[in-house]
A = this chain, B = another copy of it.
């Protein structure tokens, strides 16, 4: 057993180090709510930290920021690589900054162009927006699972809102589960497409079309314009296949050229009118509430199952049981029952 005097000394040293080394949560939250961007960046780093000793402090900060989160609008932006997401986000962001808005740009997905840009040191990506004092760009956090990345991005949104950002743009790449995750954390979900890519209806199949509050045909300029108009018509028809959204919103298909800057103003006006209407009829808060309860349930079930998956003895038993199921020696249901009994008996 440890010597009590030595233990007390260690605790005192830890307290001292805590005062010197890690910022006090209350002070950090105050700095954030004053719009102090370096403080915001430090808090996000804490939220993104995987060190167990940072968990309590980052939890305190996020909860304190929840109360201060104001009247922002969160916009999810998805599209397959090559569709021009970065240029679109920069053009939209600069336009919003020009309207006097504070804009934060975040990303969900370790493979998103936002993080890839920063990993490759691509200084030209969103360079102009990055220099703007009204903008804050944060690459996708590192994470070993989409759930972890999504959690960090979701909490980072809260910090940005407490820091007074009016618009939070959340970028994701047009593949897999990351679109569902982003759809589950934003107020408005925008699908970016280009004409003539031959994937006009792929979005229906992937289920992303159904999630979209707007479809934007990007690169609608010069010789692309006629094809873009045809795509607009195709997508408008396709959107009518879906049942009306719960909040009564009818998704729109808009054209845009990020390079020429045309159509971007109309997109913001659409998002703004959506937000105004949804705030007025209460559907805005209802959607956010439903999203939060969904995250609660998902995180809870992750925690309830991860104890089993992280237990080395259970991992071994699970692998053995999979073999027995594959060899048809045991029904999958009975196999699960036996694994649970073994887990409970430990």
Chain A residues proximal to chain B, CB less than 8 Å? 59, 62-63, 66-67, 69, 151, 154-155, 158, 201-202, 204-205, 207, 210, 241-242, 289, 292-293, 295-296, 299-305, 307-308, 318, 321-322, 325-326, 328-337, 339-340, 343
Contact = CB atoms under 8 A, between A and B. Distances in A.
- Name which of A301, A321, A331, A343 has the most chain B CB atoms within 10 A of its CB: A331
Nearest to A67: B328
Nearest to A69: B328
B201 A303 contact: no
Nearest to A307: B304
Number of copies: 2
Nearest to A200: B241
Given A303-B340, A328-B67, A340-B304, A241 B296 contact: no
A325 B299 CA distance: 13
B63 A329 contact: yes
A333 B201 contact: no
A174 to B, nearest CB: 15
Contact of A339 (B59, B300, B308, B322): B300
Given A325-B293, A328-B67, A241 B336 contact: no
A241 B301 CA distance: 35
A242 B303 CA distance: 35
A295 B333 contact: yes
A334 B303 contact: no
A154 B63 CA distance: 45
Given A69-B328, A154-B333, A289-B326, 6 more contacts: A204-B204, A292-B332, A296-B325, A300-B336, A301-B305, A303-B336
Contacts of A343: 304
Which 3 residue pairs of A and B lie closest in terms of their CB atoms, listed nearest first?
A299-B336, A295-B332, A296-B332
Given A202-B241, A326-B289, A308 B304 contact: yes
A151 B204 CA distance: 31
A149 to B, nearest CB: 13
A122 to B, nearest CB: 31
